[in-house]
């Protein structure tokens, strides 16, 4: 009789208005309860019974209540589910299908699921699939329910880490499929014939997509004349064509452990456009004069040309020859002369940048080795050697002059930028440096000149801890359609064009450089393409990291790594423990606070300064090398737990 009573309806409405509600993100714990994080400072307890209605990461509106003298929340309304489209592992029980989402904190959440009508694959336990969440408990349902929409990979396939990760991030798994009849040279502009010159390429031994070749001469007064020839895919790919649209969406060749997924069809990137030795190839080239002290002159010429690379050299062979190691030597005197001149140019540029810009620190690279069936066998550590630096310095020169050329003639392009410090972080950096008697002002280090000076001082100081803290305050690199400084490199402007078969941004700059050469109308890139390129770069990096983490857990669970002591560098400190990188193989490990000291009240982990104190005394800091042993390999979360070896 009271069901439609207007007074009762009004009372309920008033009660709803007066009951306090909060909005936040659900955070679960391994013990069944959770918290609703309102912001970085405030959170409310969610009892286990209320956690059964939500998932870790859900954005919800919740009722704020008092229970046993404690504030708790009861999730009431789903604002945004953490799961929409997701990847997971199939479990089959009694002819019913379930899926376990492949996400931290959700791996024990079993969701009942049904194949989509047109999804005819026969799913079995251990298979991986893509699903859509179609039913959530907070929406008045008794179960979570998902719809299976696509099979990713079958159980125990050795390529599971790659296919699952690429599916999660919505990244392509194969090269673009385009009919080869479209691979015709569409640019009939007259080109200089440089096929008689001794251009050489230096790459990894197995590199197939060769995009740069070099030829160098020395003038009578000791200056250098460097000609950089770059592969020219834009002469085969018209703006707005099907392949151009595909390349713009992919944005990059995706380099993953073990193999790559090219931005362009392999027939183009590894054959037709690749600067293969002894093959005539169209290029976009630039002739640059560099003074003997390493300073780049204003004498620069961009033009289209034909070249024939005379030899494909490897980084290791060239480095060994320069360092008088091994038996390899150049095939003829002219190639030997090219290597020696490029080496001299490299040394002069390194010295110039040491005094005027920013030098890179030598870093290690870790490369996985695989069996023929795709099983990870080992990890090889590779250092940046002198041949890497020769190519690096040559490409830096080419990109500096391209940026200047675009700015002078157009005022736009795709520029690589880095803004150094913002005003707040500049103040924080200056305050931190004072502790080490390094006197700078915020105004000073926010200028390109001041930033470069700071980096040079830190390079001389060679203190890894100070260096790591200052880098935390620095901004991230980005792209811009207008000229802007690149503080991290130390240049007033920088625009890459040397990898057009691997980067769409370089293809854009190629077309702009060509428009200047041909005196044609130039179209400024829009902000949308810049944002797409940035986002794709971010996704590729995350995918590479996720696959690497997966492979590390597969490798390090082997018996030979149990009870082995590793040297590791501390790379981060958080409230719950420290993260470190094993120097032998590059694996990231987590050391929980409990393993650092058994009495939690006596332990303080300061994330801001990257230090760990026990009873007020400093015991660990970022950049320290410590000895560790592995104590748990968590395949489900692809994480490695370690403890100090003492």
Q: Which of 58, 203, 506, 546 is catalytic?
A: 203
CA-CA distance, 104 to 462, in Å (whole number)? 38
CA-CA distance, 34 to 29, in Å (whole number)? 6
**498: closest CA among 359, 351, 400?**
400
Is there a catalytic annotation at residue 436?
no
Q: Which of 58, 102, 127, 211 is catalytic?
A: 211
CA-CA distance, 572 to 621, in Å (whole number)? 8
Is there a catalytic annotation at residue 293?
no
Which of helix, strand or coil describes residue 159? coil
- Work out the burial of residue 18: count CB atoms within 10 Å of its CB; fewer than 13 is exposed, 13-18 middle, 19 or more buried: exposed
Structure tokens at 94: 């009694």
Helix 464-473 × helix 448-461 angle, to 10°:
160
- Dihedral pair phi/psi, residue 504, rounded to 5°: -70, -30
CA-CA distance, 418 to 487, in Å (whole number)? 5
Identify the DSSP state of 182: G
Is there a catalytic annotation at residue 212?
yes
**316: closest CA among 264, 386, 365, 381?**
386
Q: How would you label 597-630 residue by residue, b for 16+ Cβ within 10 Å and e otherwise?
A: beeeeebbbeeebbbbbeeeeebbbbebebebbb
Structure tokens at 436: 């080490």
C-alpha 504, offset from chain centre = 16
Is there a catalytic annotation at residue 58?
no
Q: Which of 102, 127, 209, 506 is catalytic?
A: 209
Q: Which of 236, 315, 366, 504 is catalytic?
A: 315
Structure tokens at 306: 């034909």
Q: Which of 455, 502, 511, 638 is catalytic?
A: 502
Identify the DSSP state of 413: S
Plot region of 215 (φ>0 → left; ψ -120 to 50 → alpha; else → beta): beta
CA-CA distance, 336 to 181, in Å (whole number)? 40
Helices (H), 207-313: 242-250, 266-267
Helices (H), 462-526: 464-473, 504-518
**314: closest CA among 287, 277, 288, 266?**
277
- Work out the burial of residue 462: count CB atoms within 10 Å of its CB; fewer than 13 is exposed, 13-18 middle, 19 or more buried: exposed
Plot region of 112 (φ>0 → left; ψ -120 to 50 → alpha; else → beta): beta
Q: List, in sequence order, every beta strand (DSSP E) within 50-168.
A: 59-66, 71-80, 85-93, 96-101, 111-115, 128-135, 145-153
Q: Which of 58, 102, 127, 212 is catalytic?
A: 212
Show which residues are catalytic.
203, 209, 211-212, 315, 502
């Amino acid at each position: 009789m009271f069901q439609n009573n207007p007074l009762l309806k009004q009372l309920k409405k008033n009660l709803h208005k007066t009951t306090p509600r909060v909005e936040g993100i659900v955070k679960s714990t391994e013990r069944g309860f959770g918290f609703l994080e309102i912001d970085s400072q405030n959170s409310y307890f969610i009892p286990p019974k209320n956690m059964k209605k939500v998932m870790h990461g859900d954005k919800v509106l919740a009722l704020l209540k008092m229970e046993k003298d404690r504030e708790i929340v009861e999730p009431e309304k789903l604002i945004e589910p953490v799961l929409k489209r997701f990847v997971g592992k199939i479990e089959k029980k009694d002819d019913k299908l379930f899926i376990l989402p492949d996400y931290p904190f959700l791996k024990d959440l079993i969701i009942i699921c049904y194949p989509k009508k047109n999804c005819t694959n026969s799913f079995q336990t251990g298979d991986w699939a893509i699903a859509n969440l179609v039913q959530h408990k907070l929406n008045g349902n008794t179960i979570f329910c998902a719809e299976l929409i696509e099979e990713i990979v079958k159980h125990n396939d050795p390529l599971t880490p790659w296919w699952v990760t690429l599916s999660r991030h919505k990244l392509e798994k194969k090269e673009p499929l385009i009919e080869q009849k479209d691979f015709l040279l569409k640019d009939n502009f007259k080109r200089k014939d440089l096929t008689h010159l001794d251009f050489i390429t230096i790459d990894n031994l197995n590199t197939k997509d060769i995009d740069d070749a070099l030829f160098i001469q020395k003038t009578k007064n000791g200056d250098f004349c460097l000609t950089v020839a770059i592969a020219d895919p834009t002469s085969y790919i018209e703006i707005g064509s099907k392949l151009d649209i595909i390349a713009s969406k992919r944005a990059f060749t995706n380099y993953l452990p073990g193999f790559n997924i090219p931005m362009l069809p392999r027939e183009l990137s590894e054959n037709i456009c690749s600067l293969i030795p002894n093959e005539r190839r169209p290029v976009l080239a630039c002739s640059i004069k560099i003074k003997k002290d390493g300073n780049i002159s204003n004498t620069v010429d961009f033009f289209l040309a034909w070249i024939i690379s005379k030899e494909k050299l490897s980084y290791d062979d060239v480095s060994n020859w320069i360092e008088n190691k091994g038996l390899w030597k150049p095939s003829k005197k002219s190639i030997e002369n090219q290597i020696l001149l490029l080496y001299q140019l490299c040394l002069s540029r390194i010295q110039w940048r040491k005094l005027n810009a920013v030098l890179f620190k030598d870093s290690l690279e870790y490369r996985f080795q695989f069996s023929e069936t795709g099983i990870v066998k080992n990890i090889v550590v590779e250092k940046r050697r002198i041949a890497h630096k020769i190519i690096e310095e040559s490409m830096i020169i080419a990109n500096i002059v391209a940026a200047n050329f675009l700015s002078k003639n157009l005022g736009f392009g795709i520029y690589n930028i880095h803004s150094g410090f913002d005003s707040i972080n500049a103040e924080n950096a200056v305050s931190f440096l004072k502790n080490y008697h390094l006197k700078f002002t915020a105004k000073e280090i926010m200028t390109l000149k001041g930033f470069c000076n700071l980096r040079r001082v830190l390079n001389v100081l060679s203190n890894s801890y100070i260096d790591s803290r200052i880098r935390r305050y620095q901004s991230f690199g980005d792209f811009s359609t207008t000229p802007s400084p690149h503080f991290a490199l130390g240049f007033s402007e920088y625009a890459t064009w040397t990898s057009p078969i691997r980067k769409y941004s370089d293809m854009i700059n190629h077309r702009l450089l060509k428009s200047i050469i041909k005196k044609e109308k130039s179209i400024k890139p829009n902000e949308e393409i810049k944002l797409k390129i940035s986002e794709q770069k971010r996704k590729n990096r995350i995918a590479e990291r996720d696959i690497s983490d997966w492979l590390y857990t597969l490798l390090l669970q082997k018996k030979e790594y149990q009870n082995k002591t590793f040297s590791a560098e501390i790379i981060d400190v958080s409230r719950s423990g420290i993260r470190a990188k094993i120097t032998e193989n590059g694996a990231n490990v987590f050391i929980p606070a409990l393993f650092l000291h058994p009495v939690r009240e006596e332990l303080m982990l300061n994330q801001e300064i990257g230090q760990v104190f026990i009873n007020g005394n400093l015991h660990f800091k970022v950049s320290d090398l410590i000895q560790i042993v592995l104590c748990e390999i968590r395949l489900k979360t692809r994480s490695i737990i370690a403890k100090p070896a003492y």
